[in-house]
Structure 1
Amino acid sequence: QDLQLQMEATERLKLRVILDNDNAERLILPSRPSSVQALIDEIKTRLKLTFDFRLQFEDPDFDHALCNLVEMEHLPSTASVKIIRLVELDLISTSTSETSLLNDSTDAIDSPERISRWPEVFIVPKFSYEVEHVLKEGNAAFEKDGKLIRLPRDQKHNILEVMGEENF
């Protein structure tokens, strides 16, 4: 058994790293990293990625469905891993009107029940092409003129539904 563990630790790792729907990179590591975080660090270094992410892998035990990678021993020596970008929320407001609103309702915000419902890391999922396009145009208009976007009800519903599925 010790020999098997030693072999697994030095085993070569051949990965297909899925960056997004249109991009994937082949990556061969001479040995298996000791932890998921070590693998993430290695992928960041080798592929020159500057953002934080978590990994999912195609699990052969479940017809290659994507599963979160939490233990290195679950990852086969040849595998596809998908990068899931993480976006951290900036909870500090620089607007005085927002700050005063926050101060007025501190009790509701500070309650343990309220705080525990927010994820530590907020994952921004991919939306439908139409929604992504509208959001991109809205961001461009805001950058150019400071103009806020107005979304139709169905697009708001789509955004909330997709975000809820990804984060909860």
Structure 2
Amino acid sequence: MICFIENMLLQIHISPTNIRRVELPQRPQSVDQLKSFLSEKCQLENGDFLIQFEDLDFNNELCNLNDINELPAEKATLKLLWEEVCPSQGVAGDSNSVSSLDTASMPSCHSGDQSPESSVLRNLRSAEKWPSTFNIPTFPLDVELRLRKANEVYQQTNKPLNVSREMKSQILDKIVQAIFDIKAYPDAYEIQSVASCLVQKHPCLTEPGKRTGWDGWVMSIKFKLGNYRAKLKEAGCSELSVNCKRKSCEGMVERPYMKKPKRAEVNFLPDHPEGHTEDSLEEVRLAMINEMKKKKKDLTVIHRQMQETFSLRRKEVVEIQPLVEEIRERWPGLFLKEEICMEFSRIFNVDLLRVN
């Protein structure tokens, strides 16, 4: 039995599109008691999760909750993270990943056991905004060992590491992948923050004679990121394929026609969920229209269909740019109050009702 001290109101982020309001009759006395309550209240199958909270002392940045006294007194926003282990990956060091998942996707790692909604969630970015401190990824083991020894030497002699071309390529590969997971087109100051964090974590990579010590890394990351985008575009990544050259009105000159995400758009043009094509998603869209015509609508079914067809809807909005009436005709479910909020959350990873 859980003992409480005082009332509390929580907003629980289980996944980017599964955000719940939970009222506690009283305040829990420990983090374990809070986990137990959330598992029961939100019907979470896997109770082994990490709780993060918005820390008021650090401009609402997320922090791990280790002490229940760190929570605000009356209201708090929490985010749940699970450590999901997938033995089928078969690569030591890469089999563990911490991610925010929907209840339907836990704890199995097999695609046959996952719902359409969880498949869509894996296809979307989860970061709400560029982190204040970029998390430098772990590099291949041989690179990490060299950096560790070189950092020790740098601490004693201030002698930087002479980075080989192969080693630099391995470092940049990991960094640009981590950048793309957050943003396809980062701003100049964001790339600078990555280079700065890289040198702070590995001082041996400081460039001698440079004004900041990481100016060269900024240029290297920019070029590597551009090459990485080119590879993804060639592979068929929707968010990048939309940025292609099209003929002008005269039909003579080709001009770049760029359709980049706005600053706050996290999921601008995602690829279709695994196992889906435009034809299969079109069938789901038609089923959604039929459900909307019913006198007694099943909002749960409509939400699942809207979630599943998000990539198809974004493709139409970005590439075709239809009129509002055309969108209303093709996507009537989008004009439900609940789905307006959910669509905003899918694109921006922000709760519309909490935006000031």
TM-score after normalising by structure 1: 0.52
Give 3-state SS (helix, strand or coil) of 1:66's partner. strand
- Aligned residue number for residue 86 of structure 1: 83
Distance 1:87 1:33, change over 3 A: same
* 2:97 is the alignment partner of 1:122: yes
Give 3-state SS (helix, strand or coil) of 1:33's partner. coil
Structure with greater contact order relative to length (CA < 8 Å, sep ≥ 6): 1
TM-aligned CA deviation for residue 57 of structure 1? 0.5
- Aligned residue number for residue 52 of structure 2: 56
* Aligned-residue identity in percent: 27
TM-aligned CA deviation for residue 130 of structure 1? 8.6
The structure with more radius of gyration: 2
Q: Which amino acid aligns with 1:62?
A: F
- Aligned residue number for residue 24 of structure 2: 29
Number of aligned residues? 108
Give 3-state SS (helix, strand or coil) of 1:55's partner. strand
Distance 1:90 1:130, change over 3 A: farther
C-alpha distance in structure 1 between counterparts of 2:34 and 2:94, whole Å: 23
C-alpha distance in structure 2 between counterparts of 1:131 and 1:36, whole Å: 38
CA contact (8 A) 2:5 2:29 kept: no
Give 3-state SS (helix, strand or coil) of 2:29's partner. coil
Distance 1:87 1:132, change over 3 A: farther
Give 3-state SS (helix, strand or coil) of 1:50's partner. coil
**Greater percentage in strand:** 1
Distance 1:31 1:120, change over 3 A: farther
Which whole-Å deviations, capped at 9, do the CAs of 1:87-131 have from their partners, x for residues lacking one? 13438x9xxxx8xxx9xxxxxx8xxxxxxxx59963146663599
Moved over 3 A (4+): 118-122, 124-134
- Aligned residue number for residue 164 of structure 1: none
TM-score after normalising by structure 2: 0.26
- Aligned residue number for residue 40 of structure 2: 45
C-alpha distance in structure 1 between counterparts of 2:27 and 2:268, whole Å: 40
- Aligned residue number for residue 145 of structure 2: none
- Structure 1: which 5+ residue stretches go unaligned? 1-8, 103-108, 110-117, 142-168
TM-aligned CA deviation for residue 10 of structure 1? 0.7
- Aligned residue number for residue 73 of structure 1: 69
C-alpha distance in structure 2 between counterparts of 1:53 and 1:120, whole Å: 17
C-alpha distance in structure 2 between counterparts of 1:33 and 1:119, whole Å: 35
Which whole-Å deviations, capped at 9, do the CAs of 1:65-90 have from their partners, x for residues lacking one? 11111110001131000111221343
CA RMSD of aligned residues (A): 3.2
C-alpha distance in structure 2 between counterparts of 1:62 and 1:35, whole Å: 22
